[in-house]
């Protein structure tokens, strides 16, 4: 039995973790914390957890509590942190003083970057720099070997997950022409903004509309850049100066969840569509969650929401666009982009199959 605590459990990521983990007979949820709802039953705040009918689901009996480092350290084998940036890094050191062997999965941004300077440029002063290098980047389907041997995993952002899964195999295979920019356009459901009340996220503001935002300053861009640069250097690139520029534009679309990403890449000379397919098959042959589709129009968020799946499809350019490739990926921002990938990481960290206990599909809000 794996004993789990979820810190910051009343946000979208935390609630989806509770749902998915409460279905598992091999998991016991020890604690769920929330500053807002401390002392209240989960089913009181979220009535969908009232007598769900699942055989192993005891979630209706759970109660939100305030954070207590000693209590969660003593009662947990692994702790999920679902907090805003700069918050988990304040709490983790105290937990490790109580239990130095406990496993940590941070769903937030605090430990995603190799370079602290990059993190601090976009998120502010880091609270636990001494821990940063101990965390493995939790892009499960590419870095599974490192995650298996790690005590600490930093879950990727949702936009980077949708962008890096299609891009990294091509960079590792030296297929990308560094002389041309990689262009990434991503469209996300409104749940990506979290449960906080914001005027721009109200139904009347987003209905029947699509908008770009933070077009030059989104915090997920440096995350994509850093991981792409690492892949480029590992593939034989001489320096970051030879890495292609990455242009990333996020958009909000009037759906609750899902991310559709379109990527434009100039290929190195001699790279064919068959070479691209071979690269994807090689990288994802052991992954139960990444699928390469033949028809690019089948790659849409409707087919992946409420799942941990990533669908990828591509088409190489012809005639005047020869040497170019367009890639489309689709994920659920709350599933593959957050909670379900976090559970995949937990499975790897505990020596389980990556798809152990992850719902294939569940229409849960």
340 occurs within a structural domain:
no
Between CA 362 and CA 52 the distance in angstroms is 13
99 and 178 share one domain: no
Q: Are 31 and 3 in contact (CB under 8 A)?
A: no
Residues 128 and 163 in one domain: no
Nearest CA to 152 out of 342, 353, 359, 352 is that of 342
The number of folded domains in the chain is: 2
Q: Is residue 355 part of a domain?
A: no
CATH classification of the domain holding 217: 3.30.360.10
Give the pLDDT confidence of 18-55 residue by residue, as tens digits. Answer: 999 998 999 999 999 999 999 999 988 988 887 656 55
Is 170 in the same domain as 264? yes
Domain residue limits at 261 = 159-333
8 Å CB contact between 290 and 165? yes
Query: Do 180 and 287 belong to one domain?
Result: yes
For residues 204 and 17, what is the distance between their CA atoms, to the nearest angstrom? 29
C-alpha to C-alpha distance for 99 and 239, rounded to whole angstroms: 40
Given a cut of 50, whether residue 364 has pLDDT beyond it is no
Residue 176 in 3-state DSSP?
strand
Indicate whether 188 belongs to any domain: yes
Same domain for 180 and 276, yes or no, is: yes
CA angle 136/79/27 to nearest 5° reads 110
- Which residues, in sequence order, are CB contacts of 152 under 8 Å at separation 6+? 103, 104, 106, 111, 131, 134, 135, 136
- The CA distances from residue 182 to 167, 246, 264, 266, 316, in Å, are 9, 5, 6, 7, 15
Q: Are residues 228 and 114 in the same domain?
A: no
Q: From the candidates 82, 158, 299, 310, which is the catalytic residue?
A: 158
Do 67 and 210 share a domain, yes or no?
no
* Alpha carbon distance, N-terminus to C-terminus of the chain: 27
pTM beyond 0.75: yes
* 32 and 88 co-located in one domain: yes
Query: Does 112 lie in the same domain as 44?
Result: yes
> Do residues 112 and 228 share a domain?
no
142 located within any domain? no
**More confident of the two residues 28 and 231:** 28
344 inside domain: no
Asked if residue 184 belongs to a domain, the reply is yes
Does residue 41 lie within any of the structural domains?
A: yes
Q: Tell me, what's the pLDDT at 273?
A: 86
| Residue 148 included in any domain | no
Do 54 and 165 sit in the same domain of this protein? no
- 218 has pLDDT over 70: yes
Residues 126 and 165 in one domain: no
Count of CB atoms situated within 10 Å of the CB of 92: 24
In this prediction, residue 365 has a pLDDT band, given cuts at 50, 70 and 90, of very low
What length does the chain have? 365
Residue reference for tokens 């007979």? 25
Task: Assess whether 158 carries a catalytic annotation.
Answer: yes
What pLDDT score was predicted for residue 243? 78
Confidence class for position 195, pLDDT limits 50, 70, 90:
low
């Amino acid at each position: 039995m794996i004993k789990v605590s979820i810190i910051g459990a009343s946000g979208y990521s935390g609630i989806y973790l509770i749902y998915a983990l409460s279905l598992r007979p091999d998991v016991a949820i020890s604690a769920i914390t929330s500053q807002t709802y401390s002392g209240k039953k989960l089913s009181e705040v979220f009535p969908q957890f009232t007598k769900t009918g699942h055989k192993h689901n005891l979630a209706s009996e759970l109660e939100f509590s305030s954070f207590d480092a000693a209590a969660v350290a003593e009662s947990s084998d692994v702790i999920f942190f679902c907090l805003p940036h700069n918050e988990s890094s304040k709490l983790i050191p105290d937990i490790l003083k109580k239990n130095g062997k406990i496993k940590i999965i941070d769903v937030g941004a605090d430990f995603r970057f190799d370079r602290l300077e990059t993190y601090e440029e976009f998120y502010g002063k880091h609270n636990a720099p001494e821990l940063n290098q101990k965390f493995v980047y939790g892009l499960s389907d590419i870095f599974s070997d490192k995650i298996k041997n790690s005590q600490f995993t930093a879950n990727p952002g949702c936009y980077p997950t949708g962008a890096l899964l299609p891009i990294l195999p091509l960079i590792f295979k030296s297929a990308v022409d560094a002389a041309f920019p990689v262009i990434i356009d991503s469209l996300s459901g409104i749940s990506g903004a979290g449960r906080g009340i914001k005027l721009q996220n109200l139904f009347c503001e987003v209905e029947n509309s699509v908008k770009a935002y933070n077009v030059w300053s989104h915090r997920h861009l440096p995350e994509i850049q850093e991981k792409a640069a690492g892949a480029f250097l590992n593939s034989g690139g001489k320096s970051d100066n030879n890495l292609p520029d990455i242009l990333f534009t996020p958009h909000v679309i009037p759906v609750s969840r899902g991310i559709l990403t379109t990527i434009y890449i100039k290929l190195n000379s001699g790279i064919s569509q068959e070479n691209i397919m071979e690269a994807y098959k090689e990288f994802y042959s052991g992954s139960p969650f990444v699928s390469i589709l033949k028809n690019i129009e089948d790659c849409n968020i409707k087919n992946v929401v409420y799942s941990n799946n990533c669908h990828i499809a591509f088409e190489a350019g012809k005639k005047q666009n020869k040497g170019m490739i367009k890639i489309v990926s689709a994920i659920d921002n709350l599933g593959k982009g957050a909670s379900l990938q976090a559970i995949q990481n937990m499975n790897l960290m505990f020596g389980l199959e990556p798809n152990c206990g992850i719902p294939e599909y569940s229409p849960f809000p």
